[in-house]
Amino acid sequence: MILDKLEQLKKRFLDGRDDATFQIKLWEDEINESFLLDDLSKHDGVRLVREKIKDILEVFDDSLRDSETSEKERGRIFAERNVYQWFDELFLRASISLESKEKQIDNELKL
């Protein structure tokens, strides 16, 4: 598990150097945030919200493809679309971040 690997890394490299301490603390914070978001993504309420967001994004995309949509309306759609996408991608980035951090920790442990 990634937290066990992080503990091994702490034991091996925490020698009081500020840069090592800072980096490991940063990874630990990012891993904990990713675990929290991963747990949240499994909650029924969050899944429903994400499904609704996908529907909203499809409507936005349809409106953007429509030649009758004004430039002012397009600007509003892009702004709203960015907010919805940010929320939805937050959960996707969490799982990618966990995989990435685990690879970085594995590489550090090989040294």
Q: What is the DSSP string of 48-95?
A: HHHHHHHHHHHHHHHHHH-TTS-HHHHHHHHHHHHHHHHHHHHHHHHH
What's the pLDDT score for residue 68? 94
What's the pLDDT score for residue 83? 95
What's the pLDDT score for residue 18? 64
Placement of tokens 């939805």 in the chain: 88
Q: How far apart are CA 44 and CA 71, in angstroms?
A: 37
Q: Give CA separation, 110 vs 9, 12, 72, 97, in Å.
A: 10, 11, 55, 20
Residue 16 has pLDDT above 80, yes or no: no
Domain ranges of the chain: 2-110
Take residue 81 and report the two structure tokens written for it. Answer: 């679309």
Q: How far apart are CA 111 and CA 104, in angstroms?
A: 11
CA torsion through residues 73, 74, 79, 81, sign: positive
Q: What is the mean pLDDT of residues 62-89?
A: 94
User: Mean of the per-residue pLDDT values for the chain?
Assistant: 87
Amino acid residing at 55: D
Residue 30 DSSP class: H
What's the pLDDT score for residue 15? 62
What's the pLDDT score for residue 67? 92
What's the pLDDT score for residue 8? 79
